Amino acid sequence: MTSAGTTREVPMPELRVVAVSNDGTRLVLKAADSTEYTLPIDERLRAAVRNDRARLGQIEIEVESHLRPRDIQARIRAGASAEEVAQLAGIPVERVRRFEGPVLAERAFMAERARKTPVRRPGENTGPQLGEAVQERLLLRGALRGAGCVPPCATTGPASGRSRSRWRATSAPVTSRPA
């Protein structure tokens, strides 16, 4: 092995663990030439020893970026793309994508839930589902060419400045230009 970031290759000494510091916060390591080194016992080391790759990835993001994983997810939840978040955080987009999946699944779940929500006028007991009502309106206005073509709802949320449990569902038809 060689040390990184040098202009010439310098062999790295092979180290072995010889003790734990008296206060229990550092490992004491020793090289073959008897030089001693210390290594802080922190969350990153604990995750590496447990082979907890997910936690280690979170720690790396927290160290490399000013955005924590929960901040990354909040930005994606608010509609930012993985590329936009990666650029803002100064980290590779692959790291952002690790935290994007759960948010996209949550968004899809909420969109489906919104589509299935019954809508009714005051005083009515039952009504069509939101997805059906949207499809009917679009068909009446000529925005759809046939049945079974419901534009997906876009969901964002939880809406800022509101309760964390509130979501906002919006639907917009996709328009295409003649070729």
Residue 82 lies inside a defined structural domain of this protein: yes
Distance from C-alpha of 136 to C-alpha of 160, rounded to nearest angstrom: 31
135 and 108 in one domain?
Answer: yes
Residue 7 lies inside a defined structural domain of this protein: no
Task: State the total domains in the chain.
Answer: 2
59 and 73 in one domain?
Answer: no
CA 100 centroid distance within chain: 3
Q: Which of 22-31, 47-56, 94-103 shows the lowest mean pLDDT across its residues?
A: 47-56
88 and 51 in one domain?
Answer: no
Domain span at residue 48 reads 15-64
pLDDT at 6 > cutoff 50: yes
pTM, to two decimals: 0.47
74 and 60 in one domain?
Answer: no
Mean pLDDT of 43-55: 70
Residue type, 179: A
pLDDT at 61 > cutoff 70: no
Q: Which of 107-121, 133-147, 153-167 ranks highest by mean pLDDT? A: 107-121
82 and 30 in one domain?
Answer: no
Mean pLDDT of 43-69: 66
